[in-house]
Structure 1
Amino acid sequence: MELNNNVYTIQGLKLTDIAEQFGTPVYVYDADKIAGQVQKLKDGFKGLNVKLKYAAKALTNLSILKLIRKQGCGLDVVSIQEAHLGIRAGFKPSEILFTPNSVAFSEIREAVELGLQINIDNISILEQFGNEYGGTKSCCIRLNPHIMAGGNNKISTGHIDSKFGISVYQMRHIERIVKACNMRINGLHVHTGSDILDPEVFLRGAEIIFESATHFPDLEFIDFGSGFKVAYKDDDITTDLQELGKKLGSAFKAFCKEYGRKLELWFEPGKFIVSESGYFLVRANTLKTTPATVFVGVDSGQNHLIRPMMYGAHHEIVNVSNTSGTKRVYTIVGYICETDTFGWDRQMHEVREGDILAIKNAGAYGFSMASNYNSRLRPAEVMVYKGEAKLIRQRETLDDLLRNQVEIEL
């Protein structure tokens, strides 16, 4: 999103025009930004045999998936439904990594039948997989390195109390199962969480996974998950991909030499690829002044963007209808029967009823975590592609709320 001549635009299109054309609330995605983020990752790890697996849970719209596939990425999915969406979007099953948690073995069996790369993070499931498939189907093992990382405890996944991964302290148990079932382990995976700033976190994980790798002679890849931090404010510090690529790349090359052959280096960026591409456009319905606060009530709420309420996440908010008025301090709230605050005490150009506000960083976990709470409808999605705003999901209607309900006679 750019500000030119006091007008906010995406690829030359005015955001106010997009809001007028498609209505509000509406998610708007900049295809050029998505492609640019993928290129940043490729540039950061240049010279390495890197495979990028987009973490689909961030945003699963089919058009977005097709765009990301066009950039040369594979896919990381956490449910069989995400896998089916990926295949429908054109990904080959062999390009999809299936990393579920706490699912029934029947779902893993379905993933095997589809031809996905299986990633296992539970001793019990590993044993079931070994008993059923032995060495006929390879799998990856997700290890828990017991490293505390991530900006919020709800998104930190590699610590000792996390439900994710098999503890590195259970390596002897893993070895027994692999040997007894004659299993073929073709990958090792570690993911410590999101919003990682310090490359040393990746390097600590690397040391652990490289040591673990010596127990498995058939590895084809090592997967470091993701966690690359995006900017939520103008002065935010982000992950230095060049520094990370240099340090982790050097360590990985040294490991491959010691291991005896070159392996693939995998990452699973989700939020990094789509977060900054997304803008959630809402309309100011009401202005309400109290003795302490001026509230701007908008035509959306936590049912469409839950991250501020769930994680305390910060999303910049700008008034795209008024870019030069006097700046005032507002608290932007939603229309849900909860305290659904998008932003406290935000300074922005004067807001008038009817103005369009743009909430930034809405590409990741906006629509994908949206709900019909309060029986509200989910918004439309629009992608700006090659200078044209294209509808990629229709706005819901009341019929959508009723479609699967079954009325009984009372």
Structure 2
Amino acid sequence: MENENLLAVAREFESPIYVYDSSKIISQYNRLSGAFKKVKQVKLNYAVKALSNIAILKLINSLGAGLDTVSIQEVQLGLLAGVKPEDIIFTPNGVSLEEIEEVSKLGVQINIDNLSILEQFGAKHPNTPVCIRINPHVLAGGNSKISVGHIDSKFGISIHQIPHILRIVENTGMTINGIHMHTGSDILDVEVFLYASEILFETAKNFKNLDFIDFGSGFKVPYKPGDIETDIEEFGEKLTKRFNSFCKEYGKELTLGFEPGKFLVSESGYFLAKVNVVKQTTSTVFAGIDSGFNHLIRPMFYNSHHEIINISNPKGKERFYSIVGYICETDTFATNRRISEINEGDIIAFKNAGAYCFSMASNYNSRFRPAEVLWHNGEAHLIRKRETFEDLTKNQVDIDIFAKTTETV
């Protein structure tokens, strides 16, 4: 999006506000699907947790993608957005058997990642095909908080427990129709991911009724100029060759699955905030904005980098600023960052704000969550209203048990 368009959105809908450019989502989807055009059956299931606005789910579903969900509420959002149950996969972690059964009743593909629930579900529902999430014990992600395929991860069933899985399958008579893995986000090395894929192929040989193999996702996107990213084209070429070869060995055309979240929506998003105060101290120039980590927690939580531009003065002389929020504790988005000269009242934009920004927002400090806008075909469309004080209090229960009483002696 152009700076003028972002400024127009800020003027019309006020700040702080999230803005998503649909054209970037579409181009990312086409790029990923194009990398696997030589595979006969490919299924991309968008990871809802990245950004769950119904308008976004409708857009991505219109491109041909299904959904990857981790809670029954995400499943319900998908159904509300018009996604067919058979186009949704449910991959929870640590949820109750009851929740899995409720989702199963909706006709959604179940993906189970622990032996206990696998045995319980198989014993009660042997006729319901199930996918199994495998932990390949491969560390493919770059950040320890978002790497989930290593040996100490709580996710997936260890590859060393395949005999246990096979015993459960035999004892219950259940059908395993899919094998799944997810090594984590920010995959830096294609070869490491391909190594993990070989483990998944070897595991798949144990199951004779597979319909699909799901390789998860975690493709890294660039966060700043010159930043490294997953080479999707190289990855597509290499995995396509190996997947097609495996299908011949297996004797059946399987569906190749992925679950892109951040890859599809991260670069589409901008978070716009107004500068409330420029504060000079003895060593630092702070730009304090009308937001905080209640709206954009990733820099504080993951130490993630978001490019910051002053869209009110994009060609101004660059100075060094520390961008901070209004939360009453350490609340730093960037330290000593070179940004075009900032004045109070300017609008600044955080890039890569499409994934895990609104979805991780909160009402901390009793602040309202911002509005969301979709920029589509050159027009701004409000897709979530800004919260109000009524939203903040509507589920609270006012009880009258604290009235003062006077005792008479």
TM-score normalised according to structure 2 size: 0.97
Give the AA of the match of 1:275.
Answer: S
- State the distance in 1 between where 2:244 and 2:263 align: 25
**1:307 corresponds to:** 298
The answer on 1:41 being equivalent to 2:41 is no
- State the distance in 2 between where 1:106 and 1:131 align: 14
- State the distance in 2 between where 1:201 and 1:93 align: 33
Please list, as runs of the form range in 1=range in 2, the aligned pairs for 1:199-218 lying within 5 A after superposition: 199-218=190-209
Give the AA of the match of 2:172.
Answer: C
Q: Secondary structure at the match of 2:335?
A: strand
Paired residues of 1:202 and 1:224 also in contact (CA < 8 A): no
Match of 1:168 among 146, 159, 164: 159
Paired residues of 1:202 and 1:248 also in contact (CA < 8 A): no
Q: Secondary structure at the match of 1:244?
A: helix
- State the distance in 2 between where 1:125 and 1:51 align: 26
**1:81 corresponds to:** 73
Deviations 1:214-246 (A, max 9, x none): 110000000000011111001011111111011
Match of 1:113 among 80, 94, 105: 105
- State the distance in 1 between where 2:34 and 2:176 align: 30
Match of 1:243 among 228, 234, 245: 234
The answer on 1:21 being equivalent to 2:12 is yes
Please list, as runs of the form range in 1=range in 2, the aligned pairs for 1:8-407 lying within 5 A after superposition: 8-9=3-4, 14-48=5-39, 49-134=41-126, 136-407=127-398
Q: Secondary structure at the match of 2:23?
A: helix
Q: Secondary structure at the match of 2:144?
A: coil
In structure 1, the gaps of 5 or more residues are 3-7
In structure 2, the gaps of 5 or more residues are 403-409
Paired residues of 2:295 and 2:369 also in contact (CA < 8 A): yes
Q: Secondary structure at the match of 2:179?
A: strand
- State the distance in 2 between where 1:364 and 1:348 align: 23
Q: Secondary structure at the match of 1:154?
A: helix
Deviations 1:47-87 (A, max 9, x none): 11211000000000000100001111000000000000000
Paired residues of 1:301 and 1:333 also in contact (CA < 8 A): yes
Paired residues of 1:280 and 1:358 also in contact (CA < 8 A): yes
**1:5 corresponds to:** none
- State the distance in 2 between where 1:401 and 1:155 align: 31
- State the distance in 1 between where 2:114 and 2:233 align: 34
Paired residues of 2:275 and 2:287 also in contact (CA < 8 A): yes
Number of equivalenced pairs: 400
Paired residues of 1:96 and 1:117 also in contact (CA < 8 A): yes
Q: Secondary structure at the match of 2:146?
A: coil
Deviations 1:256-290 (A, max 9, x none): 11111110000000000000000000000001111
Give the AA of the match of 2:87.
Answer: E
Deviation at 1:386, TM superposition (A): 0.9
Paired residues of 2:47 and 2:259 also in contact (CA < 8 A): yes
- State the distance in 2 between where 1:399 and 1:333 align: 28
Deviations 1:336-392 (A, max 9, x none): 012111111111110000000000000000100000000000000000111110100
- State the distance in 1 between where 2:183 and 2:314 align: 40
TM-score normalised according to structure 1 size: 0.97
Deviation at 1:19, TM superposition (A): 0.3
Give the AA of the match of 2:119.
Answer: E
Deviation at 1:197, TM superposition (A): 2.2
Runs of 4+ in 1 over 4 A off after TM superposition: none
Paired residues of 2:25 and 2:264 also in contact (CA < 8 A): yes
Deviation at 1:212, TM superposition (A): 0.8
Deviation at 1:206, TM superposition (A): 1.3
- State the distance in 1 between where 2:290 and 2:87 align: 39
Q: Secondary structure at the match of 1:265?
A: strand
Paired residues of 1:297 and 1:334 also in contact (CA < 8 A): yes
Paired residues of 2:140 and 2:193 also in contact (CA < 8 A): no
Give the AA of the match of 2:393.
Answer: L
Deviation at 1:251, TM superposition (A): 0.9
- State the distance in 2 between where 1:326 and 1:80 align: 50
Deviations 1:18-56 (A, max 9, x none): 101000000000011111110010111111121100000
